[in-house]
Amino acid sequence: MKYLAFYILFYLLPTGNYASIFPNFNMLGGHNLTISEAESILGEPCIQMDKQSTAENGGHQFKTSFVAKSNDKAVLYYMFESYQSEEEANKKFDEFYNGNAGLSGFEKVENLGSEAFYQRDEQNFSLLIARKDNEIVRIKVNKVTPNYSRINHKMVTEKVIQRVNN
């Protein structure tokens, strides 16, 4: 029995294979981004390149990136941040919002979390940042390709935001 517990803790959980054994168990509280979600945004198969999870100042940060298989310049960057308080998260969101509001391609997004905005130039990047309560989700695509889906970018962000606090 202790070997089974060791196997689950050290072999299945770190790689994410635990989901097939414990489908309702999620180490990140549902705030991670799946490969299929990334592929729906990029519009093509991709590879997850890295994952990093840190805890500091009473909060939590998880980030990862995905690279399109057909074009290594098409990269999706995902970050989830949890803050000790809603005020801290609101302050951080306001920094992003105010820093981008005057730039071209900026638009406020209604009915997505507590507040959200989208920004895109037509060739290089697409960014969606949403806050719900004390948590912020950022999904950015660098090198927007013809396969990129703005609709899926928003829909995936909505799904992640809905998983917040659930």
Phi, psi of 149 (to 5 degrees): -120, 110
What the chain holds in terms of domains, given with CATH numbers, is 1-27 (no CATH), 31-163 (3.40.1000)
**Per-position pLDDT tens, the chain of length 166:** 443 333 333 333 343 333 333 333 344 456 789 999 999 999 999 999 999 999 977 789 999 999 999 999 999 999 999 999 999 999 999 999 999 999 999 999 999 999 999 999 977 999 999 999 999 999 999 999 999 999 999 999 999 988 876 6
Round to whole Å and give the CA distance between 128 and 1.
Answer: 46
pTM: 0.80
Q: How far is CA 95 from CA 100, 111, 129, in A?
A: 9, 20, 11
Q: How many residues does the chain have?
A: 166
